[in-house]
Structure 1
Amino acid sequence: MSASTERWLTFEGLDNVRDIGGLPLRDGRTTRPGMLLRSASLHYCTPADVGHLVDVVGLKLVLDLRTPREIDEDGPTAVARAGVETVAFNFLPEQGRTLPETDDDTDPLVRNYLGYLSDRGENVVAAVRLLAEPDAGPALVHCAAGKDRTGVFVALVLDAIGVERDAVVADYALSAEQVEALFRRWTTASGEPMPEDISRHLPRADAMATVLARLDADFGTNGTGGAAGWLKANGLDEESLKRLGTRLTAD
């Protein structure tokens, strides 16, 4: 079994699901299993999926990164109806997008990802702060596909707690293996045909590496990754950052 295969968690109606546990930190430790899952939308969760998340995983918190419109279209999730605290943190502007100041030849995917941080930095920080609460319990973060908004958020968290950079980027890029399955579920539900080419929807490791390198250049200090610096510069207190590391890393 490959390392990639071992990362995936299988559910009936929940796609692109994996546990961030077991990733290597720069100090030789690893991330703690069972504390943070990442996934696509919970819209298609079955009763069995909900039961597993609540009774086996012990899920206590869901961070929903979708827009208000996406949430309104789908309605409350079965996980929320089961009593799991669900908090929405929109990463997109309500009307249009003001992209950060970048060179004209900046990769559009990089521009979008940096846009999450410039457009809704307060929501990004608030989501991290909630995740860092000592009584938060096992949590799950998702958007629609679990690859872009979720990908940026998880990469920011992993880098901030000291996960090795190659592992941060690899975790982000792993979602590419699930994009076809996501489109098959969506098109089956809607009755629309599968797109002929889904390549433009695939996460690219180089894009995330560029985003993190940009944060390093702007916010990194003394060999510390730029994600922690960005979070502190945008209002996350040092105590919350320490708690985040304690919650998500194994002894």
Structure 2
Amino acid sequence: GLGALADAGVPVHRLSFIPETGIALPETGDAHAALDPMLGHYLAYLEGRGEYVVDGVRRIAALDSGTTVVHCAAGKDRTGVLVALVCAAVGVPREEITADYALSATRIDALFEKWTTASGEPMPPADELDRHRPRAEVMAEFLRLLDERHGGPVGWLQENGLTDDELARLRARLREEGA
């Protein structure tokens, strides 16, 4: 099934950002790889499943009202990319986007505790947990690369099919609800 939300009557849409054949990491350059290996994954979501990324933005724009929940296994990587694109598209300042992304770091220990308790496996060592913690500079670099390669997050979204009308609707909806 689709889970508890669907069971409660909430419309649920599954959009995989990871191709069935696995993720092919794009070339990011040694400096980027040294910053954080997840940066390559974030770019791969866009390259490998760009249509689903845009579909996620499109679905948020299409709703008349109500709350949207975006989630993935840990709520930091695939969720972080989609939420960052939506926020950037509606004009949220970069420093707020990166700070919000980094907040997920506070939940890593609890997530791994939940997963390991369920599986019976031991908790990973602290250095491994640290590798999973989102850092603001990684999202900042992801957004900077979109600026450099596509004229920004909005440029990437439009190159991949988001229309001017959908962008206007997204902005109207989120600015109105966030007011």
Secondary structure in 1 matching 2:69:
strand
Secondary structure in 2 matching 1:85:
coil
In structure 1, stretches of 5+ residues that fail to align are 1-74, 221-225
Deviation at 1:109, TM superposition (A): 1.6
User: Who is 1:217 aligned against?
Assistant: 148
User: Who is 1:91 aligned against?
Assistant: 17
CA distance in structure 1 between the partners assigned to 2:147 and 2:29 by the alignment? 17
C-alpha distance 164-126 of structure 1, shift in aligned 2 (>3 A): same
Residues 159-196 of structure 1: per-residue CA shift (max 9 Å, x gap): 11100000000000100001001111111222221111
Residues 99-125 of structure 1: per-residue CA shift (max 9 Å, x gap): 224324432221111111001000000
Query: Is 2:35 the counterpart of 1:109?
Result: no
Deviation at 1:219, TM superposition (A): 2.2
Secondary structure in 2 matching 1:169:
helix
Contact 1:134 1:243 in 2 (8 A): no
In structure 2, stretches of 5+ residues that fail to align are none
Contact 2:2 2:12 in 1 (8 A): no
Contact 1:130 1:136 in 2 (8 A): no
1:207 aligned to which of 119, 138, 141: 138
User: Who is 2:173 aligned against?
Assistant: 247
Secondary structure in 2 matching 1:132:
helix
Higher strand share: 1
Contact 1:132 1:243 in 2 (8 A): yes
CA distance in structure 1 between the partners assigned to 2:93 and 2:14 by the alignment? 29
- The alignment covers a number of residue pairs equal to 172
- The Cα RMSD (Å) is 1.4
Query: Is 2:158 the counterpart of 1:232?
Result: yes
User: Who is 1:183 aligned against?
Assistant: 112
Percent sequence identity over aligned pairs: 54
CA distance in structure 1 between the partners assigned to 2:48 and 2:130 by the alignment? 26
Secondary structure in 2 matching 1:106:
helix
CA distance in structure 1 between the partners assigned to 2:72 and 2:22 by the alignment? 19
Secondary structure in 1 matching 2:21:
coil
- Which consecutive segments of 4 or more residues in structure 1 shift more than 6 A? none
Deviation at 1:199, TM superposition (A): 0.8
CA distance in structure 2 between the partners assigned to 1:191 and 1:134 by the alignment? 41
**What TM-score, normalized to structure 2?**
0.91
Alignment of structure 1 residues 58-77 onto 2, 5 Å: 75-77=1-3
CA distance in structure 1 between the partners assigned to 2:32 and 2:5 by the alignment? 39
Higher helix share: 2
Secondary structure in 1 matching 2:12:
strand
CA distance in structure 2 between the partners assigned to 1:76 and 1:96 by the alignment? 22
**What TM-score, normalized to structure 1?**
0.65
